[in-house]
């Protein structure tokens, strides 16, 4: 959709946003990457320093950041806001070091919401794809809509897409078919991939190897898997980065913190996956892009490096993957 059309339809998009709130919540009622009960949780390792999770983090003035993966439509809806309220929400909740975010549209219902957001707000970029929960909705018509949007310079990537074998809202066959199709189309268009993988490590890696060139840009988002899986991905795909969210602060997420330790800082992306994965000490509330400093501060502690180094290197990594 062109910018002019998006502006013309902004009122309709807002009406659709309000009218379809229940549909959106239904599609996302288990969150995007919320840890499943089946996930291999691991309690805090007493041999390692206790992670400090302050309510606020003092940020270096010149350390700008980008939230590389967030669902703006969802965190506004859950905050009882409309899409028009983004600027006021940003003013209230984001620090001055916030530079931009990548709004991830991952189901057909959210396509027009995202069109509106990127047309109206300078600091919002986008990725479009179909989440594995919605793989049974991935039709030729939906694919055509996604392809159409890839020509917009504010559309940076294809995704999120991938495999989710815990909830199985779509069958394994539907998920694998939609995932492979989207990978091939993104490669054809030269777009980076945004990947969701839960309880599906082996098949995720296999399909990526079968459909994606080794040097393609890839963002494995909201990583909650093992250090071994992280190493397998990083070794095979040299232009792949791994995103970590507020879940690294959770009490029983030592295995994810082990993955943070294992992944070089040059291969890490900062993301919130808002409204999901809210970091401590705000767990139970709505995650949003203002929480990136908390994620970065936790990574700095886990890796025992300065916060400024985390912020500046992850900003470079975002530019490498997304070009902004």
Known binding residues for a divalent metal cation: 69, 71, 160, 196, 221, 273
Q: Which residue numbers belong to the known binding site?
A: 69, 71, 160, 196, 221, 273
The closest alpha carbon to 71, from 267, 251, 287, 280, belongs to 287
Contact 53, 280 (CB under 8 A): yes
DSSP string, 118-173: HHH-TTEEEEE---GGGGGG--HHHHHHHHHHTTSTTEEEEEEEEEETTT-SS-HH
Helix residue ranges per DSSP H, the chain? 3-8, 10-19, 21-27, 72-78, 86-93, 111-120, 140-149, 172-189, 201-211, 227-236, 254-262, 292-303, 307-322
The closest alpha carbon to 195, from 168, 215, 218, 172, belongs to 218
Helix (H, G, I), strand (E, B) or coil at 255: helix
């Amino acid at each position: 959709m062109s910018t002019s059309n998006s502006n013309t339809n902004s009122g309709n998009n807002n009406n659709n946003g309000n009218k379809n709130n229940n549909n959106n919540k239904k599609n996302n009622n288990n969150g995007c990457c919320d840890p499943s009960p089946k996930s291999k949780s691991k309690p805090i390792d007493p041999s390692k320093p206790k992670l400090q999770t302050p309510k606020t983090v003092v940020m270096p003035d010149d350390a700008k950041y980008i939230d590389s993966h967030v669902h703006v439509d969802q965190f506004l809806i859950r905050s009882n806001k409309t899409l028009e309220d983004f600027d006021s929400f940003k003013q209230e909740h984001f620090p001055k070091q916030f530079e931009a975010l990548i709004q991830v549209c991952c189901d057909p219902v959210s396509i027009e919401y995202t069109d509106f957001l990127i047309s109206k707000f300078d600091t919002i970029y986008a990725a479009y794809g179909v989440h594995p929960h919605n793989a049974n909705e991935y039709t030729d018509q939906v694919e055509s809509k996604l392809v159409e949007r890839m020509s917009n310079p504010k559309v940076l990537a294809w995704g999120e897409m991938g495999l989710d074998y815990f909830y199985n809202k779509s069958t394994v066959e539907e998920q694998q078919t939609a995932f492979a199709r989207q990978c091939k189309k993104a490669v054809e268009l030269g777009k980076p991939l945004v990947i969701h993988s839960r309880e599906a490590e082996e098949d995720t890696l296999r399909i990526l190897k079968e459909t994606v060139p080794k040097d393609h840009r890839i963002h494995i988002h909201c990583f909650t898997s093992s250090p071994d899986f992280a190493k397998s991905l990083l070794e095979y795909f040299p232009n792949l980065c791994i995103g970590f969210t507020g879940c690294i602060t959770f009490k029983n997420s030592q295995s994810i913190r082990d993955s943070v330790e294992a992944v070089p800082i040059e291969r890490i992306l900062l993301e919130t996956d808002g409204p999901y994965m809210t970091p401590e000490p705000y767990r139970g509330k709505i995650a949003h892009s203002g929480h990136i400093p908390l994620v970065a501060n936790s990574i700095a502690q886990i890796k025992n490096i300065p916060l400024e180094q985390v912020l500046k290197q992850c900003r470079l990594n975002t530019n490498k993957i997304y070009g902004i």
